[in-house]
Amino acid sequence: MFSKILIANRGEIALRIIRACREMGIQCVCIYSDADRGAPYLDLADQAICIGPAPSAKSYLDISRIMSAAEIADVDAIHPGYGFLSENAHFAEVCRSSGISFIGPSPEAIRLLGNKASAREVAGRVGVPMLPGVKDCVESEEQAVEIANGIGYPVIVKAAAGGGGRGMRVAHNEIALVQGYLQARSEAAIAFKDDSVYVEKYLERPRHVEIQMIVDQHGSYVYCGERDCSLQRRHQKLVEEAPSPIMTPDLRKRMGDAALTLAKAAKYTTAGTCEFLVDAKNNFYFMEVNTRIQVEHPVSELVTRTDLIRAQIMAAAGERLPFTQADVEVRGHAIECRINAEDPDNDFRPCPGKITRVFIPGGPGVRWDSHIEAGYTIPPTYDSMVGKLLVFAPDRMQAITRMKRALTELRIEGVKTTTPLHLRIMNDKRFIDGTVHTSYIEKELLGK
């Protein structure tokens, strides 16, 4: 097992990793930028090293500064958290050549599954269901139209190097397709410096259901159930829950097996998530793999009673997973609300600033994963998430009731937060009925 881990991240996930290290008896060192000086979680690590100024490019994204800190702190492993360098194959390689374990998959697995086009290629090869479409990049409007006629409208043109909802255009007919194809290519060229696009079938009102995978280096592949993340705004998840309201044991097994088949083909290890879209008939289609631990991992932890960060660290250290597939049983229901310092009445404008008062919800089945405290100033340089509020209850209705209670108890003053929006969602009839889809928030709840 590792004796000392460097946490190459910040905020709530840095705190989450510190917690796992503490419970495992592993020393941990946290790097931080000028903007995070004085952050309360830094005191909870064994060591904290300032590596640079506020801008991420000179701190949390700066490989040489991070490796310098790893060197002087004499660590044997680095945990990249999520975001930042967590899916950067080059960083994983630098760790490997420095003799430091990267707590994540190999650089080869990151490259293979991290790129959408190559992941789709692998998925196609091993028979993982995908949306009808052509994996190869489209070179002309004529080709796009030919593909669309083959798979049937509506279709979506998507940037191969893309993410975050950019470089995508939906088309319901040929005219829209030609226009959308040209727009997507130019947007992709600007946003990702790579204008390659492909065309696939577009699902109307799909659900986003993802499978949590955890794999060790002894050939043990396990999925820890699914998470339904259909409630999104601008492709950013707002609420996640497990189990998915549309799930059946048979569908879960088929999706879990598909995810693990893909993982095996890529020799994937440690933690990862396989994302799928599910249509109204419960057909599932592979979307992409996130080759890291995710923000919403606690949702799975709650319904399967596992500690995923612990399992991830064990797997990276070459130890066997502390549970088998047979041990993983999805019981009860968990919901997570991502609390962001954004103004829901003003187009979700980020509200960095000083938090003047905090009251944390508690009681049965409530979990709060956050680094904030009263007096903490949210730096403007990073993302706006201030905390994850989770509930666990015996069934979905009780979980919703519990989340309403917890949201009502939560007080974060000094900045605006998205707490009121979450209360609206918890009281929303369609959410309660379990009939939402990925555009529901933007088109229907907020559109009202």
Active site residues: 292
Footprint on residues 323-342 left by another protein (CB under 8 A): none
| Residue 69 beta carbon to another protein: minimum distance, rounded to whole angstroms | 5
In this structure, which amino acid lies at residue 64?
S
**What is the maximum alpha-carbon separation in the chain?**
62
| Nearest distance in Å: CB 318, another protein | 23
Range 368-427, binding another protein (CB under 8 A):
none
> Would you say 52 or 105 has its CB closer to another protein?
52
If you search the block for the tokens 């460097």, which residue do you land on? 6
Taking residues 59 to 98 in sequence order and writing x for each that binds another protein by CB under 8 A, - otherwise, the string is -----xx-xxx-xxxx------------------------
Q: What is the nearest approach in angstroms of another protein to the Cβ of residue 146?
A: 52
* Closer residue to another protein in complex, CB, 73/156: 73
Cβ burial of 378 (10 Å; 0-12, 13-18, 19+) is buried
| Residue 46 CB, nearest approach to another protein (Å) | 5
Task: Kindly identify the residues of this chain, within the stretch 2-61, that bind another protein according to CB under 8 A.
Answer: 27, 34, 42-43, 46-53
Closer to another protein by Cβ: residue 34 or 174:
34
Nearer to another protein by Cβ, of 30 and 215: the residue is: 30
Residues 69 and 49: beta-carbon distance below 8 Å: yes
Cβ closest to another protein, residue 54 vs residue 446: 54
Shortest Cβ distance from residue 25 to another protein (Å)? 11
Our CB check for another protein shows the closer of 20 and 128 to be: 20
Closest CB 44 distance from another protein, rounded Å: 10
User: Which residues here bind another protein, judged by CB under 8 A?
Assistant: 27, 34, 42-43, 46-53, 64-65, 67-69, 71-74
